[in-house]
Amino acid sequence: MSSYLQDNFEKTTIQYKLSAETDQIIYISSSSQLDCIPTLQQMTENFYDPNLEEIEHAKHMKKFMEKVERNKGIEWIQERPGMYEKYKKYVLKE
């Protein structure tokens, strides 16, 4: 399934089709002759979400904290007599 996008550069309207299979932008039509073809950066600026970097950073931090918590849990288990044996038997199933 493809979707259509439309950008306005000054007094020119350019319509694009996005390919669902490849996520590529396919040029379709222009409402007038262009002096220059807009760059990919100009095309993507209208669709860029400034929060995207923050969202990616938050995902990485969540993964890091899960790893830290898991390591703390393993350390806690290893410090208690008998707990590590149960952990190995029931969780690691060695």
Domain ranges of the chain: 3-45, 52-92
Which own/partner contact pairs does 46-53 have at CB distance under 8 Å and 24+ positions apart?
Answer: 46/7, 47/5
Token pair listed for 2:
């493809």
Token pair listed for 14:
């350019």
pLDDT, average across residues 49-75? 80
Residue type (1 letter), 34: L
pLDDT at 42: 65
pTM: 0.33
Tell me the three state secondary structure of residue 27.
Answer: strand
For residue 14, the surrounding DSSP H or E stretch is strand 12-18
Name the residue with higher pLDDT: 62 or 90.
Answer: 62
CB 25 within 8 A of CB 46: no
- Tell whether the model's pLDDT for residue 33 goes beyond 80: no
